[in-house]
Amino acid sequence: MEKRQSRLAHNQQVPGSSPGLAIRARLSGSRSPHTNRRIVVPQFRKPTVEELDNRFTHHPPVTDEQVKRYETVRATILETAKKCVELTPCSSEQTRALNALDEAMFLFNAAIARHEGVKVEVPSE
């Protein structure tokens, strides 16, 4: 019983994780053969209806300042992409990196749209 309580005491929400994708890390009893460290096992929970509504609803910008931040994110990612394409050979890795930048731009702008002034409470287990 004491061993189980010890493991449960290590459950922590990953800082900065979206409530709809809340991941709780739990130290397992197993150890990695490579590092001899305990293995962290992610545990997921189902998002609430409110979290799904927030995630899949269009969030138009509500202030001019918000629009400027969208544009700044886009411009920053674009400049990064241009410089990286200039510095790297055309390859599948370059294509994957550009796709990752595209996804990063989307996620940064989604963070602004979905969480601007929204206080989301994560239900306790």
More confident residue, 112 or 25: 112
For the residues 71-90, what does the mean pLDDT come to? 97
Q: What value does the mean pLDDT of the chain take?
A: 77
Asked if residues 86 and 80 have their Cβ atoms less than 8 Å apart, the reply is no
Global pTM? 0.57
Q: In the prediction, which pLDDT does 75 show?
A: 97
Distance (Å, whole) CA 65 – CA 60: 13
Distance of CA 100 to the CA centre of its chain: 13
Domain boundaries, the chain: 2-50, 59-115
- Higher per-residue confidence, 70 vs 24: 70
pLDDT (0 to 100) of residue 12: 43
